[in-house]
Amino acid sequence: MKKITVSLIAVLMCIIHLSVFASSNVGKIEETTVNSQILGEKRQLIVYLPAGYAESKQKFPVLYITDGDIQGGHTAGTVDYLSKFDLAPGMIVVGIVNPGNKRNEELTLAKKNNGQSEGLAGADRFLSYIEEEVIPFIKSRYRTLDYQALSGASHGGQFAINALIKRPNLFDGVIAISPSLYWNDNQVIDLAEEAMKKQALHGRLFISIANEEPTMTDAFQKLVELTKKYPSSKLSVSSKTFSDESHNSTTLLGQYHGLKHLFPNWVIPDAPQTLADLQAIFSARSKLIGTTMLIPEDRANGYGQWLQYLNRQDDALELFTWNRTTYPQSLNAHIALIKACLHFNLTDAAKSALEDAIKSTNGLSSEQKGQLENLFGTLKTANKRF
């Protein structure tokens, strides 16, 4: 029984991987500028579009990332890998470039004067630039969903947490990797505590730290303890320590684990999935990113075949029938249903499925019609062997 189960998993994984490699084209990279009134100068953006963006009409979630010229490329690669293996959605990654001579000023909080901050300065000013100029620019130029996330490392991590505090409804998810929380005598931590006491934070937050100096790790631990002291049903927090990584190397792992936290329960379990199982998963995905997501045709066929191999007749036929109904122009969806009916010796149902395929599928060639009709002559006998 164990060997049969392993074989079935291998069959399904093969189907999934074939669909991945069939769509393994690389996304386009575009460099553009924003003429910022807030910053008083033109600023660079590097936009990483998901694979297949140009060929589709699909809208995508957006991930904004600070230090975009340094962190954008590998982050876009991580997003691409996760999405191709259906571990997270495809995303538009917007690399916000921070020039080296202005990075500290733009990503860190301004110092306090007599208990008051110096007006709109430092990270708060740069946050306004992103909210009022970058985001509207991206929305006007690309096909975006309302879902948007923010990621940053080091000072960028400090900036990301400050953004969560100052604009709690702007980003659905925030990733802060090795954030410099010690800045200005733990100013960000003090602000975070005030917000957490009021239950003012929303969305999903991932924070991580590497093997670093006590100045960094102590401040990080204080923030982690605050999230436990003031738990909130509106804020989901995940924290990790990468003890084998340095301040510079930790960003790779941080982005990977951060993205997985932003999209919980996205992965389909490695087990047979019924139509109800898959619909529940895709319904949760739809709710998370704010758009309707249907079970893809190839995925439905793959799980339908798994159920067929297990001789779960009702579950298999329900999934194949849904797939044929949802994708009526797909010859593969029709063929899969006909094969399943023959496999379960449901000759009348198979003939009915054949008639439906010929009627509902536009532009069938004589060769394709012959292919459908020949299923009765060649596959009925073969399917009895399963």
Name the CA radius of gyration of the chain, rounded.
Answer: 26
Residue 86's identity, in one-letter code, is: D
Instruction: Give the pLDDT of residue 158.
Output: 97
Distances (CA, A) of 94 to 97, 142, 281: 9, 11, 28
Q: Closest Cα to residue 98, out of 141, 28, 154, 178?
A: 154
DSSP annotation string for 135-156? HHHHHHHS-EEEEEEEEEETHH
Number of residues written out for the chain:
386
Q: Name the residue with tokens 């496999």.
A: 343
For residue 281, how many other CB atoms are within 10 A of its CB?
A: 18
Q: What is the dihedral of CA 59, 60, 64, 70, to 10 degrees?
A: -110
Q: What is the dihedral of CA 322, 325, 329, 333, to 10 degrees?
A: 30
How far apart, in whole angstroms, are the C-alpha atoms of residue 223 and residue 193? 8
Interval 338-374: pLDDT, tens: 999 999 999 899 989 988 888 887 777 777 777 777 7
Instruction: Give the pLDDT of residue 385.
Output: 45
Alpha helices (runs of H) in 209-330, residue ranges in sequence order = 214-229, 250-262, 275-289, 297-309, 313-326
Interval 84-117: pLDDT, tens: 999 999 999 999 999 989 999 999 999 865 444 4
- Express as a percent the part of the chain with pLDDT over 70: 89
- Partners of 112 in the β-ladder: 117
Instruction: Give the pLDDT of residue 357.
Output: 86
Supply φ then ψ for residue 231, to 5 degrees.
-65, 150
Residue 1 has pLDDT above 90, yes or no: no
How large is the average pLDDT for residues 377-384?
51
Instruction: Give the pLDDT of residue 117.
Output: 47
Half-sphere exposure of 75 (CA within 13 A, CB side): 34
Instruction: Give the pLDDT of residue 9.
Output: 57
Task: Report all structural domains of the chain as residue ranges with CATH numbers, in order of start.
Answer: 25-262 (3.40.50.1820), 276-383 (1.25.40)
**Mean pLDDT (the chain, rounded):** 90
Instruction: Give the pLDDT of residue 386.
Output: 39
Q: Closest Cα to residue 108, out of 45, 63, 66?
A: 66
Do 289 and 145 meet the contact criterion of CB atoms below 8 Å apart?
yes
Q: Closest Cα to residue 266, out of 154, 173, 376?
A: 173
**Residue 363: exposed, middle, or buried by beta-carbon count in 10 A (0-12, 13-18, 19+)?**
exposed
How large is the average pLDDT for residues 201-220?
97
Q: Which residue did the predictor score with more confidence, 248 or 4?
A: 248
Secondary structure of residue 195 in the 3-state scheme: helix
Residue 251 has pLDDT above 90, yes or no: yes
How large is the average pLDDT for residues 158-181?
97
Instruction: Give the pLDDT of residue 114.
Output: 47
Handedness of CA 192, 197, 200, 205 (dihedral sign): positive
